[in-house]
Amino acid sequence: MKKDNECGVISLEACIVVPIFMMLIMFIYGFMLMFTGDFLVSHALYQSAESLSYDAYANDKLASAGMGDISGIDSLLTNVINLFTETSDDGGFVNTTQWYKGGDSDVEQAVKERFIAYFSGGDEAKMKDMLHVCGIDEDSLDFSESSIEGNDLIIKIKYNQSFLFDINGLASFDYTKKARVRLFTH
Predicted local distance difference test score (pLDDT) of residue 41: 95
- CB–CB of 156/177 below 8 Å? yes
Give whole-number Cα distances, 114 to 54, 118, 124, 130, in Å. Answer: 12, 6, 11, 16
| Contact residues for 10 (Cβ-Cβ < 8 A; gap 6+) | none
Domain assignment of residue 125, given as a range: 2-182
Predicted local distance difference test score (pLDDT) of residue 87: 47
Residue-by-residue pLDDT tens, the chain, 186 positions:
566 666 678 888 888 999 999 999 999 999 999 999 999 999 999 999 998 888 877 777 766 665 555 555 555 665 665 555 554 455 677 777 778 887 778 889 999 999 999 999 888 999 999 999 999 998 999 999 999 988 899 999 999 999 888 777 788 899 999 999 998 765
Total-model pTM: 0.77
- CA end-to-end span of the chain: 90
Predicted local distance difference test score (pLDDT) of residue 102: 77
Name 158's bridge partners: 142, 176
Radius of gyration of the chain (CA): 24
Torsion of CA 26, 31, 34, 36, to 10 degrees: -100
- CB–CB of 130/40 below 8 Å? yes
**Nearest residue to 157 (alpha-carbon basis) of 185, 171, 137:** 137
Domain count, the chain: 1
